[in-house]
Amino acid sequence: MTEQHTSAYERIAAALEQRITSGELAPGERLPFIPDIARAEGVSEMPVRMAFRLLHRKGLIESRGRGGTRVAAPTPPLHLSADRYRRSSTAAAAEPTGATSRIERRLEHLQADTDLAELFATRTGTRLRAQHLTIHADNTPPHLTVSYLRWADIARTPLADEQTAGTGPVRAELESIGLRPAVVTERFTYGEATPGEATALNLGPGIAVVRCTRRHLTADGRVVEVGRLTYRADTLIVENSFPLDDEPPRGSDRRP
C-alpha cells in the first residue's frame, strides 16, 4: 500500500463519513458510484474502494447488490438497566423472545483458572461448565455472554442436559435447582476489542468494548454464577437508579 493511496482513501473516507454523520447523506441514500468518486477526486478506483471498505467496517454503509452501496441505518443503542435483575424469575422466563432473532450457543467444560477461582471464591482447578452466547437481537447491537456454573452444583440436575441447559434466564435456571440468588454484583471495564470480539460484534477500527463481570450470590454469600459480558462501547447506555436512605444508622451523629 503506497503512502499516496493511504492518504487518498483516508481523505475520501473522512469526507463521506462527515456527510453521513451530518445527515447530508441520509440512511438508505445511495452513494455515488466508485468511478464517479474517483474521477471527482482525481485518483484511481483503488483508494475509493478502500474507503468504502473502511466505512463498511464502521457500519456506516452497506452493499445491496444491484441496489448499490447505501448509507446504513444508524446502530440503535443498547440500554442496560438494573431492572433486568429485579424482575421475578417467572416473569423473566415468560418474556416474549420475538425481539431475539438469532443466538449462537456453545457449551464448554473447563477448570477454574486463577481469575475464575477468585470470582467464585473457590480453589483453582474447580470444574466449571461455561455457556458461550453470541446474541443477535432485532434493533439492538449484538453482544457476547459467557456464563459459568460450578459443575458440582448442576451435575445431577436438568441443567446438566446439554440439549436444554442455558435456554432460560440465569436467575430462573438457578432457582429451578434450588439455588436462589439474593444479590447480583457487576463490574464494568473499558478497553480495546480483541480480534475475536471485533469479529463477533462486527466492529470497525477504533471501536472499543465494555466488559461486564457479573456474579450471582445466594443470601449466605455463596457465588453460584459468574458471567462475562461484552458490549460494543459506542452504543451501550447503562441506566441505574438507587434508593437513598436519608436516615443515618442508629447511634450515628446526626449533625452535618
Give the CATH number for residue 231.
3.40.1410.10
Do residues 141 and 46 share a domain?
A: no
Mean pLDDT of 172-176: 91
Q: Read off the pLDDT of residues 97-129 as tens digits, 9 standing for 90 and up.
A: 445 467 888 999 999 999 999 999 999 999 999
* Residues sharing a CB contact under 8 Å with residue 94, sequence separation 6 or more, in sequence order: none
Choice among 10-24, 67-81, 212-226 with the minimum mean pLDDT: 67-81
- Determine the pLDDT at residue 239: 84
Do residues 90 and 127 share a domain?
A: yes
Do residues 36 and 94 share a domain?
A: no
Do residues 128 and 12 share a domain?
A: no
- Determine the pLDDT at residue 245: 66
Q: Read off the pLDDT of residues 5-47 as tens digits, 9 standing for 90 and up.
A: 558 898 999 999 999 888 899 988 999 999 999 999 999 999 9
248 found inside a domain: no
Do residues 127 and 216 share a domain?
A: yes
Domain boundary among 20, 41, 71: 71
Domain boundary among 39, 71, 103: 71
pLDDT band per the 50, 70, 90 thresholds, residue 236: confident
Give me the number of domains the chain comprises. Answer: 2
Do residues 89 and 201 share a domain?
A: yes
Structure-model confidence comparison of residues 142 and 216, the more confident one: 216
Domain that holds residue 103: 78-239
- How far apart (Å, rounded) are the C-alpha atoms in residues 108 and 82? 28
91 found inside a domain: yes
pLDDT band per the 50, 70, 90 thresholds, residue 92: very low
Scanning the structure block, which residue is given the C-alpha cell 480495546?
192
- Determine the pLDDT at residue 90: 42
Do residues 9 and 90 share a domain?
A: no
What are residue 61's DSSP bridge partners?
71
Neighbours of 126 (CB within 10 A): 16
- Region for residue 60 given its phi and psi (left: phi exceeds 0; alpha: psi -120 to 50; beta: otherwise): alpha
Do residues 47 and 29 share a domain?
A: yes
- Determine the pLDDT at residue 135: 83
